[in-house]
Amino acid sequence: MRLSTAGMHRTSINAILDQQSRMAKTQEQVTTGKRYQSASEDPIAATRAAVLDRSLADNAQYARNSNIIENRLSYEEQSLADATELLQAARDLALQGASSTLGATERRMLANSVRQQLAGMMDVANRDDGNGEYLFAGTSTGTRPFVQGTTGVNYLGDSTNRQIRISNNQSLSDGHSGADVFMNITERNGVFRTSVAPGNTGTGSIDVGRVSDPTAWIADNYTLQFTTATDWQVVDDTTPVPNVIASGTGFSAGQSVSFLGINVTISGSPAANDSFSIQPAQRTDVFAMLEELAVTLETGAPSGINSPSFNTNIGAAIANIDQALDRVVSVRADVGARLSAIDQAAATREDEAVDLQSLLSDLRDVDYASAISQLNQQYAGLQAAQAAYTRISQLSLFDYLR
Amino acid sequence: MADVLSTGLSALRATQRALDTTSHNIANVSTEGYTRQRVEFEARKPEFSAGGWIGTGVQVSTVRRVYDQFLAQQTRSSGTNLARLEAYAAQAERVDNLLGDTENGLSASLQSFSDAIAEVATTPASLPARQALIAEGRALAERMRSYDTRLRAMSSELNSRLGVEASEITTIAQGIAKLNGDIAVATQQSGQPPNDLLDQRDKLINELSGKVGISVVPEGDSQVNIFIGSGQPLVLGNTASQVTTQVDPLDAERTVLALRTSTGTIDLSRVISGGTIGGLLDQRSQMLDPARNELGRIGVAITAQINAQHREGMDLTGALGGNFFNIGAATATPATSNAGNAAVTVTRTNIGALTANDYRLERTATGYSLTRLDTGAAVTFTGTGTVVDPIVADGLSIVVGAGIATGDQYTIRPTRDALQGMSVAITDASRIAAAAPIRASAASANTGTGSVTSGEVLDPTNAALLTTVDIDFTSATTYTVNGAGSFTYTPGSNIDINGWRVQINGAPAVGDRFTVRNNAGATGDNRNALLLSDALRAPSLDGGTTSAYAATEKLVADIGLATRTAQVNRDAEASIHEADVAAQDAVSGVNLDEEAANMLRYQQAYAAAAQIISVANEMFDTLLAAVRR
């Protein structure tokens, strides 16, 4: 084929320009480490990479969330540990106070110690999470949650739990509402409360009792009456006509009385017409429980033999503290479960991040070995094209026309 | 003897012409559009002398352009295509560079915004986190606005480029018309083709075809007529029409091409194709405008989703959330040709049905017609355009005011101008509604096992939303609301009152109370912030199938893909064009070696012809000497 001189030059120059632009592309890949710079260079990979980037960013956000929630839960865990200690100490004080050898002064001192534990408990319940947010206020984290009112401690927080995402499909609450920790604890044995009637003349006291068959229990007010020192009957208070639902004879001290799936033990000797009331347990709070313990200690019998109502009340106070301890321990267990869930989620998340990174790298990162060998190849190609051009363009028939 | 001299002279003259032409070829080796020329020799008419016909030498019959009409046409047509694809790809690359940045693109801004929401959800009471959310919201709005501004700038740049191209087309057309005249005169005078003028005209025609698709029709034996678009005359003989730009009567933002002829102005916008202008116009209708609309649509979707959720929340001051983002409204622009002056209001009512299309609303004799601007396809709608019965189509509600005349047209752009109005409506960090406006709780004295969900907002506009409501159980299966009525309790079923919803589960006892109240003061509540972060990911577009994220990624991918395709097409056409040019060059280009050989050949011929003169001279001298003696 006939070639034109201008065409020959153009073809050679175009070839060199092509080589240069290809080399520039490879050079850009090597210097940036990226296979493509804009979406058009590899639209499919760029789109997939955008989705992966998003997952990675979410992943990082979840990691930050986990840190924050972990910190907050650790604060809570510490506070709950402190609450447990305070309750334990109060329980020890109650056990000490139950001893019939103590006098009024000693009991008052014990009561003072209990009040100190109570103050400590208020302090724990009103702790913040290190960021100025109250730990136990639900979501009203700017409101001091526990405030002493005239009739007891009022909870001013709310019962909402803040949920925080720690993975795509897992949310955890970053704390417990104060209502769930310190408030709404069912007193005594959790089912019913027992008390000694004020006018009793005997020495009989009643313990907190046990539930042997929860299904048989019907929540209502009952009175255990001793018609004689040994005969007893249980009447349902709310039924208009006193309605005997259980009775027995031949009672002796320390014997337990069973009805409606529960049993209570009467210690000491009740006199005829003495009665004990058995009512559904009520909900109270840790602070009221401690206060009740302190009051029981203060008003307990001066010395010598404890009064039946003191015995009953101190037993009830200990049962209350056990209920509170149960509550705190179960909340602590929940915190522990959450912390371990965070750890598990973190492990999963890190694995996922590694996977995502490697996928992303496959899509986006340049393979240096092949890129550099390509660059060398292109370099050699460009050199050859330049050499060929200069050699060939020197050839001219005019050189021989002289 | 005299014959020898004249034969020699003819040879001298002819080889002289040949050498002239060869040197002309050499001189023009680098001239673009130059076609090599060749001298055609022919033997002169012989004379009859005793014994036979004696040759009388040589003459130049013509100087011919070595030119292949077919190859030239092919080159021109691939040139038109290449210019179109180059313009298209260059513009596409700019859009792609703008939107397809994988590190700092729109997806990244959206992600930062989403992260900021997540941060507020994690630490709702933290003012720095809230401040960061406002800042990220602003950054997102600014990013979207700046994309829109850049695309808008590209569009107006394209308009001014069309103006420049139009005036260049006019200049070229005038050049061709003038050359047509010159060529006709020269041909008429000499009967020979004026090769260099033809080259010049071909070069201008090629230039023209690089700007816009044309058809070239020879007129007579020396002139060409040039038609543009679907047969509109641009050059007829030695007169040229003027190509100008004018504002699109339906869209003040865009420029269209028009042909000004002696009889009037013809709108070329629908018929023009090919060349740089074709590429630019295709680019505008296929990428630039759709990208702007789609970006607008994404902005509208983000705004609608976030605002709706934000309004369902409560801020730190205890007030219900307002709008988080501001966004520009849908627009309806009357055509300049409208006879009436009715105001048309367009509101977006259904984000899921919203498209990235623009529409034309036309008043017909019997009602309205609504068509897509790009394809002209009819769009089905309901309603009559009144306030009570607006025209509803594709997520829009259109109300036409009084004073419309039959034939009036409006261009409706649902999302085009949305982003210019996009900004963050909140300046005070405490006004971010991270909390839910209500909270539900069980009374602490409850003895049953009933629990209540924290509650969700169904209708934030309900006036009684924040009013305290007590739900008291009068039996295990019935309850009253604020002491009134008696409702049957079903565990887990929805209880909808005052625009909120709660569910009560478990077994509440008689006398148990659940209260739903104003959530003011819950500074640590993040319920609405969590919903906000879900809202951004919720598929709301395209009938609830596409999230703002997915739409962004799709836009970037679509543009990337379109750019890639444009580049591939351009490269393919470039090699086709290169092959065409090479083929034409092979025929018409100057080869210096060839010219050197020709020069050598003609030089020798010239020397030989000179020798003939010398011989004739000697013959004459010989004769004279013989006579003198």
CB-based contacts of B51-55 (< 8 A; 24+ apart in sequence): B54/B3, B55/B7
Q: How confident is the model at residue A302 (pLDDT cuts 50, 70, 90)?
A: low
Closest alpha carbon within chain A to B551: A47
> Is pLDDT of B336 > 90?
no
Percentage of chain B exceeding pLDDT 70: 99
Q: Are B364 and B406 in contact (CB under 8 A)?
A: yes
Contacts of B450 in chain A (CB under 8 A): none
Give the pTM.
0.84
Residue A41: how many CB atoms within 10 A of its CB? 20
Q: What is the pLDDT of residues A185-214, one digit of tens each?
A: 888 888 899 988 888 888 888 888 899 988
Contacts of A163 in chain B (CB under 8 A): 526-527, 530
- Which token pair is B626? 């013989």
How many Å is the Cα radius of gyration of chain B? 41
The chain-wide mean pLDDT, for chain A, equals 89
Amino acid at B348: R
- What is the pLDDT at residue B227? 93
Provide the chain B residues 85-124 that lie in CB contact (below 8 A) with chain A.
92-93, 96-97, 99-102, 105, 107-108, 111, 114-115, 118-119, 121-124
> Per DSSP, what are the bridge partners of residue A34?
A365
> Per DSSP, what are the bridge partners of residue B65?
B37
Distance from C-alpha of A49 to C-alpha of A46, rounded to nearest angstrom: 5
Asked if the Cβ–Cβ distance from A3 to B441 is below 8 Å, we say: no
DSSP conformational letter for A188: T
Q: What is the pLDDT of residues B588-610, one digit of tens each?
A: 999 999 999 999 999 999 999 99
Q: How confident is the model at residue A151 (pLDDT cuts 50, 70, 90)?
A: confident
Interface predicted TM-score (ipTM) over 0.90: no
Asked if the Cβ–Cβ distance from B524 to A397 is below 8 Å, we say: no
Q: Are B99 and B148 in contact (CB under 8 A)?
A: no
Report domain extents, chain B: 2-66+589-628, 73-291+543-556, 329-416, 438-518
- What is the pLDDT at residue B102? 66
- Which token pair is A91? 């329980």
How close B154 comes to chain A (CA, Å)? 19
How close A141 comes to chain B (CA, Å)? 5
Provide the chain A residues 341-370 that lie in CB contact (below 8 A) with chain B.
364
Contacts of A40 in chain B (CB under 8 A): 92-93, 96, 100, 559-561, 563-564, 567
- What is the pLDDT at residue B521? 85
- Of A129, A127, A131, A162, which is closest to residue A145 (Cα–Cα)? A127
> Is pLDDT of A17 > 90?
yes
> Is pLDDT of A312 > 90?
no
Q: Which fold has domain A52-186+320-352?
A: f41 fragment of flagellin, N-terminal domain (1.20.1330)
> Per DSSP, what are the bridge partners of residue B320?
B314
> Is pLDDT of A300 > 80?
no
Beta carbons within 8 Å of B273's beta carbon, 6+ residues apart: B84, B213, B229, B281, B282
Q: Are B362 and B340 in contact (CB under 8 A)?
A: no
Distance from C-alpha of B241 to C-alpha of B213, rounded to nearest angstrom: 16
Q: What is the pLDDT of residues B461-502, one digit of tens each?
A: 999 999 999 999 998 899 999 988 899 999 989 999 999 999
> Is pLDDT of B71 > 50?
yes
Q: Are B383 and B391 in contact (CB under 8 A)?
A: yes
3-state secondary structure of B213: coil
Asked if the Cβ–Cβ distance from A39 to B123 is below 8 Å, we say: no
Beta carbons within 8 Å of B603's beta carbon, 6+ residues apart: B19
Report domain extents, chain A: 52-186+320-352, 192-281
